[in-house]
């Protein structure tokens, strides 16, 4: 499995501002994913980020609100733009190992806890 | 489309009692199924996964799950609960390149 770190681990932000969350992996991976976990809820996939291509967004999520960068095989960022209190969530990145394990296994980072006031 | 349903948003057991967390899946093809655990203020940790090799899957921390095609179920069990098992548990199914998560079950363990 991969070791995944996220920065910041938590933040409190004012509405209307933007926050960029970083995800770092200790090995090269092809596929990285960004999820949102709203309070008391399950995980919802925001987008899939593959190196060298544009991120693929799920229904209900748009690039203007959640721009994603994937400059190399070990790093990705997710920006939450023009934040509102409804964006208060845990944001998690996950990776699928490049040597693909059977079952499309994903490994998760510790998450970034965001509170928007 | 694939989906999973977790029955019971909260489960409470006494320490030493059997843990049973329920998950039913809907899939048009043989599924890959997963159980993840989320401890307070942490990310998700993979407990175990089913990839069609064996119907009874053993995971970490004494957990296991059995794939039952006839019941479209993948319930998670542990013979004897420990206080440290208190957490949120998520069942998930893979759908092409994505994971689809259930709504989660919060496990409380009482002394």
Report the chain B residue with the minimal C-alpha distance to residue A3: B45
Tens digits of residue pLDDT in B32-54:
899 999 998 888 999 999 987 78
Cα–Cα distance for residue pair B9/B18, rounded to 1 Å = 17
Q: Inter-chain contact A104–B46, Cβ cutoff 8 Å?
A: no
Token look-up 């709203």 returns A38
Tens digits of residue pLDDT in A81-116:
999 999 999 999 999 876 666 557 889 999 999 999
Report yes or no: B44 and A92 within 8 Å, Cβ to Cβ.
yes
Structure token pair of residue A28: 């090269």
pLDDT at A99: 66
> Per-residue pLDDT for B3 more than 80?
yes
Tens digits of residue pLDDT in B73-106:
999 999 999 999 999 999 999 877 788 999 999 9
Structure-derived torsion over alpha carbons of residues A60, B34, A72, A12, reported in degrees to the nearest 10: 60
Among B41, B46, B104, the residue with its CB nearest the CB of A107 is: B46
> Per-residue pLDDT for B20 more than 90?
yes
**Which residues lie closer than 8 Å to A17 by C-beta, 6 or more apart?**
A82, A83
pLDDT at A105: 82
Q: What is the mean pLDDT of residues A59-76?
A: 94
Among B49, B90, B98, the residue with its CB nearest the CB of A45 is: B98
Alpha helices in chain B (DSSP H): none
Starting at the earlier edge strand, list the strands of the sheet with B56-58.
Answer: B3-7, B19-26, B73-78, B64-68, B56-58
> Per-residue pLDDT for A6 more than 90?
yes
Distances, alpha carbon A114 to alpha carbons A37, A55, A91, in Å = 10, 22, 8
Q: How far is B95 from chain A (nearest CA, A)?
A: 9
Using 50, 70 and 90 to split pLDDT, how confident is the model at B2? Answer: confident
């Amino acid at each position: 499995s991969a070791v995944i770190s996220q920065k910041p681990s938590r933040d409190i932000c004012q509405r209307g501002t933007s926050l960029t969350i970083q995800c770092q992996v200790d090995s090269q991976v092809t596929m990285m994913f960004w999820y949102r976990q709203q309070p008391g809820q399950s995980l919802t996939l925001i987008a899939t980020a593959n190196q060298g291509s544009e991120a693929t967004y799920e229904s209900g999520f748009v690039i203007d609100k959640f721009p994603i960068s994937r400059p190399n095989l070990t790093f990705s960022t997710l920006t939450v733009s023009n934040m509102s209190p409804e964006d208060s969530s845990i944001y998690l990145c996950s990776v699928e190992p490049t040597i693909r394990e059977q079952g499309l296994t994903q490994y998760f980072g510790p998450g970034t806890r965001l509170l928007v006031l | 489309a694939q989906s999973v349903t977790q029955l019971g948003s909260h489960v409470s057991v006494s320490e030493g009692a059997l843990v049973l967390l329920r998950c039913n899946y809907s899939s048009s093809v043989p599924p890959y199924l997963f159980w993840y655990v989320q401890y307070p203020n942490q990310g998700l940790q993979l407990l175990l996964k089913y990839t069609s090799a064996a119907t009874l899957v053993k995971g970490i921390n004494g957990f296991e799950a059995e794939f039952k095609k006839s019941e479209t179920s993948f319930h998670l069990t542990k013979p004897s609960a420990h206080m440290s098992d208190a957490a949120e548990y998520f069942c998930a199914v893979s759908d092409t390149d994505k994971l689809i998560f259930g709504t989660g079950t919060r496990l409380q363990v009482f002394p």
